[in-house]
Amino acid sequence: MTNAYGTPIWYELVSPDPGASRTFYDKVLGWEIDVESPAGMDYRMIATGNGNVGGVMRLTDEMATGGATPKWLFYIGVEDVDATAAAITAAGGTVLMPAWTIPGIGRLALVADPQGIPFYIMRGDSDEASTAFDGAGIGKCAWNELVTSDQASANAFYAKLFGWTYPDKMTMPGDSGDYVFVHADGGEIGATMQRQSPEQPLGWQFYFRALDLEASAAAVRDGGGAVLMGPHEVPGGDRIIVATDPHGVVFGVVAAGAPA
């Protein structure tokens, strides 16, 4: 892929029931997730109407036995997967699944940062740029947010491995630290924050853009999920909710603010 080094290029939901996830997310976000393929691994593309944002992978019994759980993950684009995996290990991270090649797709590895938070690294074979991350694109991921147990260490790790910078921050209410904005390739892609309580899940959380936040929130509830936070306004005028899907996977939805 032609995306800049260190930028997000793909999003993946690991689900124990891709059919149920298809029904839920199609209604919440207006996606069109593929039906199950008649042969091979159950991996379903997520179409937004303007390019794919990612895929849904079935959580198999074998994966669950190995410790995998339902979750959203993302892929960070790199030039050399093997060299980056080695650098991640040297920087205190972990290689969870060594690099492998999918013919016609690319080379990838599943890794974790020093706090144990997983993500993929990938060098895609396509000559086209990924548009999975697009702050303004309906159905696309608009924001990548890291909740970590050691914000300073995590920020240093991602800066060293992927060249991320942190030019701005916002003081959070109370004594809860700073919300630190992440820039990759000169553009803002998300933020990091220190975990606020032992109950708050650690990990990367992704906000997908919808047309109507109230309709998405209603679809979450009607579909067996739960709205954990919001709707409320965030800096810049957008509004968000944080929700769980029927399998307990946390995700966010973002939409334009209500007209004045």
Give the model's pLDDT for residue 172: 81
Q: Give the closest residue to 149 by CA, choosing from 114, 191, 110.
A: 114
Q: What is the topology classification, in CATH, of domain 8-124?
A: 2,3-Dihydroxybiphenyl 1,2-Dioxygenase; domain 1 (3.10.180)
In sequence order, the β-bridge partners of residue 124 are 106
CA atoms within 13 A on the CB side of 194: 15
87 by Cβ neighbours in 10 Å (0-12 / 13-18 / 19+) ranks as middle
Residue 40 has pLDDT above 70, yes or no: no
- The DSSP call for residue 149 is S
Cβ atoms of 44 and 22 closer than 8 Å = yes
Residue limits of CATH 3.10.180.10 in the chain: 8-124, 141-255
Cβ atoms of 241 and 231 closer than 8 Å = yes
Give the model's pLDDT for residue 9: 97
Instruction: Using a pLDDT cut of 90, give the percent of the chain over it.
Output: 81
Q: What is the mean pLDDT of the chain?
A: 93
Residue 183 has pLDDT above 70, yes or no: yes
* pLDDT, average across residues 200-226: 96
Architecture of domain 141-255: Roll (3.10)
Say which residue, 40 or 185, is predicted with more confidence.
185
Give the model's pLDDT for residue 226: 97
In sequence order, the β-bridge partners of residue 37 are none
* pLDDT, average across residues 25-35: 95
Question: Which 3-state string (H, E, C) describes 38-99?
Answer: CCCCCEEEEECCCCEEEEEEECCHHHHHCCCCCEEEEEEECCCHHHHHHHHHHCCCEEEEEE
Residues 6+ apart with CB under 8 A from 90: none
In sequence order, the β-bridge partners of residue 143 are 207
- The C-alpha atoms of residue 44 and residue 41 are separated, in whole angstroms, by 9
Say which residue, 259 or 191, is predicted with more confidence.
191
Element (H, E) at 20: helix 18-29
**Tokens matching residue 220:** 């979450």
- The C-alpha atoms of residue 35 and residue 5 are separated, in whole angstroms, by 32
* pLDDT, average across residues 220-234: 95
pLDDT tens readout for residues 131-181: 999 999 999 999 999 999 999 999 999 999 999 999 999 988 777 789 999
